[in-house]
Amino acid sequence: MDEDERQSLLTDVKYAQKQLELCLAAKTHLIALDCIRRAQDGLERVEARLEEPVEAIIVEEDPASQFVLKDYKSHAGKILLVRHIVGYVGDTDNQVELSFPAECPLRVRVETGQDKVPEQGLFHRVDEWMDPYWDVEVVDLDHPSLPKEGLRSAYIFGNSYNLETGQIGRSSFRVEEESPC
């Protein structure tokens, strides 16, 4: 692949990422889903033309992405103790952010696999910060602070990276050594 074609693909990837960011501002759930599907289709078409995953291009172009990807890979599949989680309660479309006491955090497993780590979440940017979020599976289904209806499509925020200063904003999770409660 020559450099012009690679730059064209990179432009397509950046456009799809921007579309995904705009999807988050959609006024209804159905509009957001349709928007996300269209942006993901664009990423899949780009990836089909490549000999490497889209994530490889993004990481190569942005050094901060290397830290985010390394951080994610070092936690993927592990059980974490978290104090904050976002997800949907039961079968509703009500997204909630839940907090747990330090003495009794929630146990989650960081999901793995390409279908579980969309590039738009892993390489999520807000202003000068890269704020990755990781899909997780709730392990403590009977945690006393978890809604009785359960939590689906759950995610947590990984460590944040300031793209201008290099500052790291540590998330409030830790790798489980033993359950505290």
95 or 58, greater pLDDT: 95
Same domain, 79 and 92: yes
**Structural domains in the chain (count):** 2
Query: CA-CA distances (angstroms) from residue 140 to 94, 144, 180?
Result: 21, 9, 12
Cβ count within 10 A of residue 49:
11
Same domain, 127 and 138: yes
Give mean pLDDT, residues 32-39.
Answer: 56
Question: Containing domain of residue 177, as a range?
Answer: 63-181
pTM of the model: 0.63
What pLDDT score was predicted for residue 24?
53
Give 51-76 pLDDT, tens digit per residue.
555 554 454 455 667 778 788 888 88
Same domain, 55 and 71: no
State the average pLDDT for the chain.
75
What pLDDT score was predicted for residue 88?
93
Give mean pLDDT, residues 81-101.
Answer: 91
* Position 37 pLDDT exceeds 80: no
* Position 121 pLDDT exceeds 80: no
Same domain, 53 and 92: no
Q: Which of 4-13, 95-104, 162-171 has the lowest mean pLDDT?
A: 4-13
